[in-house]
Amino acid sequence: MDLKKRTALLSKTRGCVLGLLLGDALGGSGGTVPISGAVPATSAGQLVCFAIEGLIRFSVRGSHRGISSMPGVVWHAYHRWGALQGVKDIKRWRDREWPDGWLADLSILGHGRGTAPSIATVMRGGEMGTVKEPVGTSVDAYGLVLSLPVGVMSLLRPAMRGEFAADVAALTHGPEAIEAAHLAGAIVYQLTEEPEQEQDVEASRRRARSPASTVDIPAAVRTTLETCAEEAGGAAGQALEQALAAAASRPADPAELARLVPDDRAVSALAGGVYLACSLRDPHGIFEALLLAASVGQGGHLARVTGALLGTAYGADLLPANRIARLELAWVADTLARDLLAERLDSPSGGEYIDGPDPYWYRRYPGW
């Protein structure tokens, strides 16, 4: 991968994760930002960090063992969060030296920030769900939110598109939420794709001066609906069609947003996030869009989805740096985003028969 494309992909990966965490902080506070000090994450923000760590460890395991199950490794990651949080009656994966990995050394991730009941309930049951055989019944947006960064990872395996995201949601949630996650992951994939090279030099310069003109979020959503026809035929696909129509006719309208997001279902959060992302005309208005999302409530999931979509579309550099800097988990999230891309492109720990350039990588991300 050439340097220009790698730089763009890094910006979008960081934008997805940091935008999601910014939305998480705003959503958790209902849009009321403290005047000073760190802005805390919620349980959803903490779990996103562990889900990304799981994605990295899945890749490490594949490099060193030759075979790996992404859902199984992310499922293990949820248990590490649960152990740090003191969630009762969940499986301990080892009697000693567990939880492991560098996130387990961060005391901030053991601070109580909510219970994530739809996740904790399934963990207590001891059995992870799959797309074909879900064990969870929840239709809330936790599974959708945790699956959003998977869409960035899918760029390196295009055939998967939304499938990886659906696998993550299926660990804990029911069919409707899985369907929403599939479409969301595919949208993130489309927003991450490198646009075709501009042949006209002057047009290329105009594009560089105006980042907003390079992003066509409605087109990414339409492409997703076309390429994921089976999922698009359900409730989530219908909600996306409504969101596209509303953004074209009545963009950024609070009443229209409230109509699209009547509850905390994954389908509603996805529709509202797409509506706000498609409504945005100037990427310098990202923070205002997130405040509008946070004002709707519904557990803050709408703000998380909106932040991830806008961060992916426009990249980390167009997120408000002064707001990102105050996030409780800003450094953690940014490190994970960078490491996710480094793992997929460089395999810093090497493999079963090849030494990697980073001798500490496997200690930070044990392959299991």
Mean pLDDT by 10 residues, the chain (368 residues): 90 97 94 86 97 96 91 97 96 94 96 94 97 97 96 67 92 98 95 58 43 76 94 96 98 96 97 98 94 89 98 97 96 97 94 92 96
pTM over 0.85: yes
- What is the spatial distance between Cα 254 and Cα 240, in angstroms, rounded to a whole number? 17
CATH number corresponding to 3-190+214-364: 1.10.4080.10
pLDDT digits (tens, 9 = 90+) for 339-361: 999 998 999 999 988 999 999 99
- What is the spatial distance between Cα 37 and Cα 14, in angstroms, rounded to a whole number? 23
- In terms of Cβ atoms closer than 10 Å to its own Cβ (0-12, 13-18, 19+), residue 102 is middle
pLDDT digits (tens, 9 = 90+) for 230-242: 999 999 999 999 9
Domain boundaries, the chain: 3-190+214-364
Nearest 5°: the CA angle 141, 153, 124 is: 45
For the chain, report the end-to-end CA distance as a whole number of angstroms: 28
DSSP for 61-120 reads HHHHHS---HHHHHHHHHHHHHHHHT-TT---S-SSS-S-SGGGG-GGGGS-----HHHH
